[in-house]
Chains A and B, each alone.
Chain A
Amino acid sequence: MSNGGSNFQSQVRSVTDHMVTALAILATIIVVAPLIAIFGYLVFKGASSLNLDFFTKIPKPVGETGGGMANAILGSAILLGIASVIGIPIGIGGAIYLAEFGRGSKLANSIRFTADVLNGVPSIVMGLAAYSLIVVPKIPFLPFTGHFSAISGGVALGFMMIPTVCRTSEEMLLMVPNSIREAALGLGVPNWRSVLSISVKTASPGIITGCMLAFARVAGETAPLIFTALGNQFWSFSLNQPIAALPLQIYVYALSPYDDWHRLAWGGSLVLIILIVVSVSLVRFVTSRGVLKGNS
């Protein structure tokens, strides 16, 4: 009796076990399938839209076919340049503080925690802040304030880069063994020099790829640019003027009723995706090799 019961029970258990396995596999398939679909569709649609014109021409007016997104690519490059100038040094500086000076201190822990929380603040909120900080007030002696401009968009993106750069760089710095810091200090090398020439240099492959990842992430950000960089249908080289950006343009074109613009949107998406795939793969490559083997 009890024997039969336990037999039945063990059958139930093994059936449950198989069912759960099947469910987990099913879940993975359900998840992976649309993802591959997204990629496939993107590559298919995007590749057919990319040509020389895409990279060299600005958009044609509605009704004319052809044209490209050259101004948006340039605009994104300018915006990302501004963002990197702000985000990368400050982010790495923060990482140096966390990894080299503040290790284990309460202040460092709260900075670390705040950075993680800041990472989760919606990008649209960052855009609002940049708007109210730079676009609204006319600050004396700062000619780029008081109106929509490339600078305001770049600042919003730069602020978004800081926590990401900071946390990834910190992790890379923590991978540098303490023994080589001691070696440098033992030679009478000043601390600042030891940090820059030994710790940062040793971790640099990792730090660089971390920066690339942050770069790629903000490269696709649209929300913070809507009311800072604003967008522009034409060439713009001025940091003081509204400027086009690839993701903004994709957004506008995707919601437009014109096939030709849809085509451009897909092409722009593919360009962004390639940038992201390259940087994510690089990060993975570097972290799997370990920070130390990246000898220069």
Chain B
Amino acid sequence: MGVGIEVINLNAWYGTNHTLQDINLHIPANHATALIGPSGCGKSTFVRCLNRMHETNPVGRVTGTVRIGDLDIYADAKPVQIRRRVGMVFQRPNPFPTMSIYDNVAAGLKLNGYSNRRALDEIVEKSLRNSALWDEVKDDLKKKSGASLSGGQQQRLCIARALAVDPEVLLMDEPASALDPVSTSKIEDLIFQLKSQYTIVIVTHNMQQAARVAEKTGFFLNGRMVEFDSTHKIFTNPSDKRTEDYITGRFG
């Protein structure tokens, strides 16, 4: 089951570039939350602050508080511990090219030292089923490389890989932006099913996508969060003029 996320006064920098400014936000558990905004608005940086990936960049810096469940991720834990609880799906499918499909899904557990083979078999199957990929790959799990799948399949493989560590939160950074429409709709269906079990935060530049999958939507602009509300309200009756301009296509 997922947990909620509490963000308090979050600021982030790339070198001297102040990419996120005073973000305050509560992301509810077991729902999908979409983050929209023009490119460069800081929405990707924001999700990368939620699993401390931002600081893998040597010039990245973060201040403020992020609480996932009861855990203050910047004060009470180390990055690897956070990332085991918070799965992430990236913009471009990035399966490990040297690993089989099976090993890709099992990577999060195996590389962290998990060695119970029987349990791994079950977890891999469950994760692949949850990511709607099982039927397509079950015959050559260990024969085919993760890189041999199609783009959409690869992205679902990456979702399965993230699910295999049984995370509480699933971060998705424009997961469908590199995919064709059919694969995109499969991913969206998947998000719809997964959000009852996981807290999902999805960054998207596609407003229809946000409207389709998310209960809550946040609008980012120039490193600030302009508005955060239920998706319905954001798209029908935004309270901020800038949000309205954006969703009606007046800029961005």
Check A-B contact in the complex, CB < 8 A. Answer: yes
Contact surface of A with B, Cβ cutoff 8 Å: 103-104, 177, 179-180, 182-190, 193-194, 197-198, 201-202, 204, 292, 294-296
- Contact present for B112 and A188 (CB under 8 Å): yes
Q: Which residues of A contact B108 (CB under 8 A)?
A: 187-189
- Contact present for A187 and B111 (CB under 8 Å): yes
22 A-B pairs in the complex with CB atoms less than 8 angstroms apart = A179-B90, A179-B94, A182-B90, A182-B94, A183-B94, A183-B95, A184-B107, A185-B53, A187-B112, A187-B165, A188-B165, A189-B107, A189-B112, A190-B112, A193-B111, A194-B111, A198-B111, A201-B98, A202-B96, A292-B97, A295-B97, A295-B147
- Within 8 Å of chain A (Cβ to Cβ): is B191? no
Q: Indicate the member of B82, B83, B162 with the most A CB atoms within 10 Å.
A: B83
Q: A190–B82 Cα gap in the complex (Å)?
A: 11
- Contact present for A202 and B97 (CB under 8 Å): yes
Given A179-B90, A182-B53, A295-B147, residue A187 in contact with residue B84 (CB < 8 A): yes
Name B80's closest neighbour in chain A (CB-CB): A188
Name B81's closest neighbour in chain A (CB-CB): A188
- Contact present for B96 and A183 (CB under 8 Å): yes
- Within 8 Å of chain A (Cβ to Cβ): is B145? yes
In B39-92, which residues have CB < 8 Å from any A CB?
51, 53, 56, 58, 79-85, 87-88, 90, 92
Q: Which residues of A contact B162 (CB under 8 A)?
A: 186-187
- Contact present for B83 and A186 (CB under 8 Å): yes
- Contact present for B83 and A179 (CB under 8 Å): no
Name B82's closest neighbour in chain A (CB-CB): A188
- Count the B residues whose beta carbon is within 8 Å of the partner chain — how many? 30
Q: A193–B96 Cα gap in the complex (Å)?
A: 14
Q: A183–B108 Cα gap in the complex (Å)?
A: 9
- Within 8 Å of chain A (Cβ to Cβ): is B161? yes
Q: A294–B97 Cα gap in the complex (Å)?
A: 9
Could you say which of A180, A182, A197 contacts B97, with CB atoms under 8 Å apart?
A180
Could you say which of A177, A180, A189, A292 contacts B111, with CB atoms under 8 Å apart?
A189
- Contact present for A188 and B84 (CB under 8 Å): yes
Q: Smallest distance from the beta carbon of B34 to chain A beta carbons, Å?
A: 20
Q: A292–B112 Cα gap in the complex (Å)?
A: 23
Could you say which of A104, A188, A295 contacts B145, with CB atoms under 8 Å apart?
A295
Given A184-B111, A198-B96, A202-B97, residue A190 in contact with residue B80 (CB < 8 A): yes
- Within 8 Å of chain A (Cβ to Cβ): is B210? no
Name B92's closest neighbour in chain A (CB-CB): A179
Q: A187–B161 Cα gap in the complex (Å)?
A: 8
Q: A202–B104 Cα gap in the complex (Å)?
A: 13
Q: A295–B80 Cα gap in the complex (Å)?
A: 27
- Within 8 Å of chain A (Cβ to Cβ): is B3? no
- Within 8 Å of chain A (Cβ to Cβ): is B234? no
Q: A294–B99 Cα gap in the complex (Å)?
A: 11
Q: Smallest distance from the beta carbon of A277 to chain B beta carbons, Å?
A: 28
Could you say which of B56, B58, B95, B145 contacts A185, with CB atoms under 8 Å apart?
B56
- Within 8 Å of chain A (Cβ to Cβ): is B7? no
- Within 8 Å of chain A (Cβ to Cβ): is B158? yes
Q: Which residues of A contact B81 (CB under 8 A)?
A: 188
Name B111's closest neighbour in chain A (CB-CB): A189
The 10 closest A-B pairs by CB, nearest first: A188-B84, A188-B83, A187-B108, A186-B88, A179-B94, A189-B111, A183-B94, A188-B80, A295-B145, A292-B97
Q: Which residues of A contact B83 (CB under 8 A)?
A: 185-188
Q: A180–B147 Cα gap in the complex (Å)?
A: 11
- Contact present for A197 and B111 (CB under 8 Å): yes
Q: A201–B161 Cα gap in the complex (Å)?
A: 19
Q: A175–B199 Cα gap in the complex (Å)?
A: 35
Q: Which residues of A contact B92 (CB under 8 A)?
A: 179
Could you say which of B58, B90, B145 contacts A183, with CB atoms under 8 Å apart?
B90
Q: Which residues of A contact B80 (CB under 8 A)?
A: 188-190
Q: Which residues of A contact B161 (CB under 8 A)?
A: 183, 187
Q: Indicate the member of B79, B80, B98, B165 with the most A CB atoms within 10 Å.
A: B98
Q: A188–B113 Cα gap in the complex (Å)?
A: 12
Could you say which of B51, B79, B96, B145 contacts A180, with CB atoms under 8 Å apart?
B96
Q: Which residues of A contact B79 (CB under 8 A)?
A: 185
Q: Which residues of B contact A202 (CB under 8 A)?
A: 96-98
Q: Which residues of A contact B84 (CB under 8 A)?
A: 187-188
Q: Which residues of A contact B94 (CB under 8 A)?
A: 177, 179-180, 182-183
